[in-house]
């Protein structure tokens, strides 16, 4: 029941925050923080005492109720290591986004927090759902409030960006719905059991052609969210126009639902089709890495620049997932977490800068370090994280992904590594253009306020921790990754050479 | 005809008797509230009688009508919709018209016509029901005699409906000439397996013209935007729901019980109509700036979606059609309820600019409208989502891949214009210069609140309704 409560509390918190606005904006903000804090406490309770309910195997907790029995749809939630990590990321970035919009959002504060909390509950629902219908339900549920968040509180071109975002994700989501229903009928006709339950649908046998089509339905929906080339064009607009909290959630969490979908659904449900498709996906991933990095370098809008870096970094996730071995998948998982934190941090900083100098244009910046040194230092750290400096989390993720994909495809790995060089260029470019160089005339600027120092300190702590001691993350994610790999290797034509997971002794975790 | 037959017909009789009673009372004393109360009572009483005769269902009453689970379900739906329309009309007519009471007499008659349609098993009852419905609608659409647009819409509907009725009659005659019967139960025996003659196909195609006109599917949709725009908002709600729903129920019954699905050419015809309706409805809606016209084109597209489920056939197809119709009823009534409530004395709230900044001025009603639009778009939490899911499930189950993909593409196109209205509602500050929203009537607010609850209830917990529908359509299949 605890899992359902995590979702319900955020939904109720959203309604409460909206209603509380009549007593003052501070009430909405505090209520949102309280709701997120309660959720965080619940998540910790699950970690402290797993298997309290019907949790078995790799599932720490499960919850299963009949919902629409006529279709074999149940309200089935489950939490395993992978979900747990992503739920923590969601709540963490949720807290950050409430805090970072403390001063930025001044209009319709109640409705803003309503949307924020409803997006978060939708995302948590996506990470917990073990019924495909329920999964789709949450998948679509988070779109509407996100659409409002961009469309109401965004920047100049917000309505265009919001509609584009909504159309891309909705249309691709419907393709996934067709694939889900298709899988439902394939499984039902083969076994006589018509169900949307994920655990029962695992291992459905079908002809390769059917499997490929169904897998593509899922893959396109997730590739749009990820985003992978050529489905990425909504992302720069949405990220650029969204308010800071919106950008943090988009980059930090929404993109991760795509990655999660690949790991949780595409590979386990269609292992053979995934194996056949893997080379294509890896090529798409490498193109994304290079293309995103090159376009990032060409931007003058700082927010847009960071948005393009997301495409590049998420390419590593795609590469890691479709390398189809344990190392790369572990790398993908940690890359998901680190990218959420580092890009979230960059968006927070860009938002803070925009609040002060009212522009995001790099051409109008320069020499900021002298005026706002604390901000400069923090930006420097996250720019370094983004370029993959050892000691910060992103390095671990990218390294493991490349390590894993090297075993599968050397040329592509080499090309992907070139992407890291590009990342160095654009990351240093940000620092160079905004913080160094000739100083411009600025009105009196405030450096980071105590609230902002608090936010960035949390983010720095997280990224450094992931950089130096990622082993707890590996341990948490291992059962999930292992089961995916095992599912792959059970198939007859599998190649044992590419099967390998990180040992429990922890070797290979921190290279 | 026995006493039991009469009891079985009691819901229809109740409507007829109430109509006469109200007419007499209006002749004696005009009182708007009293008339509305009687109309509401008539609908409630008729619905209560449905439960009473549920135990003896199915019962064939003469060769004309059948009272089985299927027709009882649709009757309940129609009565409920008529009840909501009555509540909306009350708040609308309080502001608009001098002669208010006759409206309800005609409204009840139109309801009766739709009820006959859903129970019809014979060409005669088909035509009778259709004409009762159509003739009442002429009067309802043109009810505001002082409004030029209302008159224009009424005349337009009159001419086109009369023409389509002529087609229908001719088609029935040809079918009768070929099959020698007007009862659908007997038709199924004669239709059999062999290829249909040209005469029979022509007859069936002409019947499709008559049916297609009422459903407003492409290419028989031309009247829809003008009539939707010109008719009083509650009447538009009635046309969008009861009139189309009644006809669709009849189409479903005839096609299932006469075994029309055996004919590949008819399947192809309906598939073309479905695809054309989806595309034409959604693409033309993009070009509109009038909310009532947008909803008109959107309803054309929705009938296209319904046809996909209809073509899927089988018990899943019938259940999907029925579920989608219920969701569509709730949603459309919600949307037109908002338009009704916002309409002032001088004019209706139909221009897109009337909705500017509504979110910040009247958040409650804006939220209801947004929910209705999202339900039309098929977004989760709402009834429309489960409806769309049901249709996709039916389509995929029958391997109608192309139709399902086209439906999905159209859903994405449809989002554009639903979002445009939602954008209008939140953009623009709450400053002056906007359309002045009148104060809301109590009846309208109650109706909207109930619809809103239903909209989310059906989206969140559809299991009980699905169970009811599955048992209702079972009588259609056997």
**Among chain A residues, CA nearest to B415:** A167
* Mutation site for B-interface testing, chosen from A107, A129, A170 by largest number of B Cβ within 10 Å: A170
Does the beta carbon of B364 lie under 8 angstroms from any beta carbon of chain A? no
DSSP designation for A265: I
pLDDT computed for residue B432 by the predictor: 55
Q: Is residue A127 part of a domain?
A: no
pLDDT computed for residue A511 by the predictor: 36
Q: Is residue A26 part of a domain?
A: no
Round to whole Å and give the CA distance between B247 and B118: 7
Q: Is residue A65 part of a domain?
A: no
* Kind plus residue range of the DSSP H or E element containing A62: strand A61-68
Q: Is residue B104 part of a domain?
A: no
Could you tell me the pTM of the whole model?
0.91
Q: What total number of domains does chain B contain?
A: 1
Q: Is residue A499 part of a domain?
A: yes
pLDDT band for position A55 (50/70/90)? low
Round to whole Å and give the CA distance between B466 and B478: 18
If one compares A504 and B309, the residue with the highest pLDDT of the two is B309
Q: Is residue B332 part of a domain?
A: yes
* Minimal Cβ distance to A70: which of B408, B411, B463: B463
Cα separations (Å) of A426 from A235, A239, A293, A434?
18, 18, 7, 12
Round to whole Å and give the CA distance between B399 and B379: 24
Burial of A453 (0-12, 13-18, 19+ CB in 10 A): middle
pLDDT band for position A509 (50/70/90)? very low
pLDDT digits over A250-291, tens only?
A: 988 999 999 999 999 999 999 999 999 999 999 999 999 999
Does the beta carbon of B424 lie under 8 angstroms from any beta carbon of chain A? no
User: Residue A292: pLDDT above 50?
Assistant: yes
Does the beta carbon of B416 lie under 8 angstroms from any beta carbon of chain A? yes
pLDDT computed for residue B358 by the predictor: 85
Q: Is residue B172 part of a domain?
A: no
Q: Is residue B386 part of a domain?
A: yes
Whether A177 sits inside 8 A of B392 (CB atoms) is: yes
pLDDT computed for residue A493 by the predictor: 45
Structural domain range at position A348: 280-511
Q: Is residue B417 part of a domain?
A: yes
* Mutation site for B-interface testing, chosen from A160, A177, A214, A220 by largest number of B Cβ within 10 Å: A177
Does the beta carbon of B396 lie under 8 angstroms from any beta carbon of chain A? yes
* Per-residue model confidence as pLDDT tens for chain B (478 residues): 788 888 889 999 999 999 999 999 999 988 889 999 999 999 999 999 999 888 887 889 888 999 999 999 999 999 999 999 999 999 888 887 778 889 999 999 999 999 999 999 999 999 999 999 999 999 999 988 888 888 999 999 999 999 999 999 999 999 999 888 898 888 876 766 667 788 888 999 999 999 999 999 989 999 999 999 999 999 999 999 999 999 999 999 998 888 777 778 888 999 999 999 999 999 999 999 899 999 999 999 999 999 999 999 888 999 999 999 999 999 999 999 999 998 877 778 888 888 888 888 888 899 999 999 999 999 988 999 999 999 999 999 888 889 999 999 999 899 889 988 988 888 766 555 667 777 778 888 999 999 999 999 999 999 999 999 999 998 888 6
* Minimal Cβ distance to A174: which of B374, B412, B463: B412
**Among chain B residues, CA nearest to A180:** B393
Q: Is residue A182 part of a domain?
A: no
pLDDT computed for residue B440 by the predictor: 79
Q: Is residue B254 part of a domain?
A: no
**Closest among A224, A456, A466, A205 to A346, alpha carbons compared:** A456
Q: Is residue A505 part of a domain?
A: yes
Q: Is residue A261 part of a domain?
A: no
Structural domain range at position B467: 263-478
Q: Is residue B310 part of a domain?
A: yes
pLDDT digits over A137-193, tens only?
A: 999 888 889 998 998 888 888 888 988 898 888 888 988 999 999 999 999 888 888
Burial of A389 (0-12, 13-18, 19+ CB in 10 A): middle
Beta bridge partners of B120: B65
Round to whole Å and give the CA distance between B12 and B7: 10
A258 Cβ neighbours under 8 A, 6+ residues apart: A221, A222, A223, A224, A225, A226, A227, A314
Q: Give the pair of three-digit tokens for residue A57.
A: 């195997």
Q: Is residue A70 part of a domain?
A: no
User: How wide is the angle at C-alpha B151 spanned by C-alphas B150 and B157, nearest 5°?
Assistant: 90
Q: What total number of domains does chain A contain?
A: 1
């Amino acid at each position: 029941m605890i899992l359902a409560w995590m979702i319900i509390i955020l939904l109720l918190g959203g309604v409460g925050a909206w209603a509380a606005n009549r007593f003052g904006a501070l009430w909405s903000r505090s209520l949102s923080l309280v709701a997120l804090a309660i959720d965080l406490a619940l998540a910790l309770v699950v970690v402290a005492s797993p298997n309290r309910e019907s949790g078995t195997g790799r599932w720490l907790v499960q919850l299963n109720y009949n919902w629409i029995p006529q279709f074999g749809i149940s309200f089935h939630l489950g939490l395993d290591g992978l979900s747990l990590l992503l739920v923590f990321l969601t709540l963490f970035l949720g807290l950050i986004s409430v805090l970072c919009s403390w001063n930025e959002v001044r209009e319709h504060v109640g409705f803003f927090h309503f949307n924020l909390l409803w997006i978060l509950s939708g995302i948590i629902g996506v990470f917990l759902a073990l019924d495909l219908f329920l999964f789709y339900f949450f998948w679509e549920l988070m779109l509407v409030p996100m659409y409002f968040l961009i469309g109401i509180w965004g920047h100049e071109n917000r309505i265009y960006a919001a509609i584009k975002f909504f159309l891309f994700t909705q249309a691709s989501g419907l393709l996934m719905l067709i694939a889900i229903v298709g899988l439902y009928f394939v499984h039902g006709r083969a076994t006589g059991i018509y169900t949307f339950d994920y655990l029962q649908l695992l291992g459905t046998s079908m002809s390769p052609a059917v499997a490929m089509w169904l897998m593509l339905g899922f893959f396109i929906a997730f590739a749009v969210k990820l985003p992978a080339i050529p489905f990425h064009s909504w992302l720069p607009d949405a990220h650029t126009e969204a308010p800071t909290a919106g950008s943090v959630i988009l980059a930090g969490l929404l993109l991760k639902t795509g990655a999660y979908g690949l790991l949780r659904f595409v590979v386990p449900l269609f292992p053979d089709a995934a194996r056949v498709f893997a080379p294509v996906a890896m090529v798409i991933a490498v193109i994304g890495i290079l293309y995103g990095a090159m376009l990032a370098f060409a931007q003058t809008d700082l927010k847009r620049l960071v948005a393009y870096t997301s495409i590049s970094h998420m390419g590593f996730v795609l590469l890691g997932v479709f390398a189809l071995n344990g190392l790369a998948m572990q790398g993908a998982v940690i890359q998901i977490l680190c990218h959420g934190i580092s890009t979230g941090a960059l968006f927070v900083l860009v938002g803070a800068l925009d609040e002060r100098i009212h522009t995001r244009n790099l051409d109008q910046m320069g020499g900021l370090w002298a005026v706002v040194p604390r901000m400069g230092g923090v930006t420097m750290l996250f720019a370094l994280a983004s370029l993959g400096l050892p000691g910060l989390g992103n390095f671990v993720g990218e390294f493991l992904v490349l390590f894993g994909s090297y075993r599968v495809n050397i040329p592509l790995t080499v090309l992907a590594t070139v992407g890291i060089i590009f990342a160095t260029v654009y990351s240093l470019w940000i620092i160079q253009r905004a913080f160094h160089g000739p100083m411009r005339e600025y009105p009196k600027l405030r450096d980071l306020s105590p609230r902002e120092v608090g936010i960035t300190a949390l983010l720095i702590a997280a990224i450094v921790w992931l950089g130096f001691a990622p082993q707890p993350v590996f341990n948490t994610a291992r059962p999930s990754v292992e089961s995916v790999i095992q599912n792959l290797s059970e198939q007859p034509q599998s190649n044992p050479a590419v099967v390998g997971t990180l040992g429990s002794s922890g070797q290979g975790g921190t290279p | 005809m026995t006493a039991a037959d009469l009891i079985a017909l009691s819901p229809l009789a109740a409507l007829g008797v109430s109509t006469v009673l109200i007419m007499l009372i209006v002749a004696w004393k005009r009182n708007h509230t009293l008339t509305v109360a009687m109309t509401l009572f008539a609908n409630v009483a008729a619905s209560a009688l449905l439960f009473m005769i549920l135990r003896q269902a199915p019962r064939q009453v003469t060769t004309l009508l059948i009272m089985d689970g299927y027709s009882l379900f649709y009757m309940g739906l129609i009565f409920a919709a008529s009840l909501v329309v009555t509540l909306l009309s009350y708040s609308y007519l309080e502001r608009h018209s001098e002669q208010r009471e006759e409206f309800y007499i005609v409204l009840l008659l139109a309801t009766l016509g739709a009820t006959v349609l859903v129970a019809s098993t014979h060409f005669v009852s088909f035509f009778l029901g259709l004409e009762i419905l159509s003739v009442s609608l002429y009067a309802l659409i043109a009810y505001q005699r002082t409004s030029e647009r209302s008159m224009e819409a009424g005349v337009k509907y009159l001419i086109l409906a009369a023409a389509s009725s002529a087609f229908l009659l001719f088609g029935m005659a040809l079918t009768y000439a070929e099959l020698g019967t007007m009862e659908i139960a007997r038709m199924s025996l004669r239709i059999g397996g062999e290829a249909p003659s040209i005469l029979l196909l022509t007859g069936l195609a002409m019947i499709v013209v008559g049916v297609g006109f009422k459903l407003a599917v492409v290419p028989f949709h031309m009247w829809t935007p003008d009539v939707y725009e010109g008719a009083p908002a509650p009447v538009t709600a009635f046309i969008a729901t009861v009139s189309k729903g009644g006809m669709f129920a009849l189409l479903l019954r005839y096609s299932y019980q006469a075994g029309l699905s055996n004919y590949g050419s008819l399947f192809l015809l309906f598939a073309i109509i479905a695809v054309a309706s989806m595309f034409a409805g959604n693409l033309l809606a993009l070009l509109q700036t009038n909310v009532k016209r947008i909803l008109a084109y959107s309803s054309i597209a929705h009938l296209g979606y319904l046809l996909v489920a209809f073509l899927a056939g089988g018990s899943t197809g019938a259940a999907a059609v029925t579920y989608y119709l219920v969701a569509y009823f709730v949603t459309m009534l919600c949307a037109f309820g908002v338009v009704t409530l916002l309409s002032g004395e001088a004019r209706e709230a139909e221009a897109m600019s009337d909705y500017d900044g509504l979110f910040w001025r009247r958040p409650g009603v804006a939220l209801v409208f947004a929910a209705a639009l999202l339900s039309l778009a098929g977004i989760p939490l709402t009834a429309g989502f489960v409806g769309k899911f049901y249709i996709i499930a039916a389509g995929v189950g029958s391997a109608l891949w192309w139709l399902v993909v086209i439906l999905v593409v159209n859903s994405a196109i449809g989002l554009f214009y639903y979002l445009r209205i939602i954008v209008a509602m939140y953009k623009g500050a709450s400053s002056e210069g906007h359309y002045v929203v009148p104060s809301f009537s109590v009846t309208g607010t109650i109706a909207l609140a109930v619809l809103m609850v239903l909209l989310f209830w059906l989206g969140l917990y559809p299991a009980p309704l699905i169970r009811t529908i599955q048992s209702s359509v079972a009588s259609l299949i056997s």
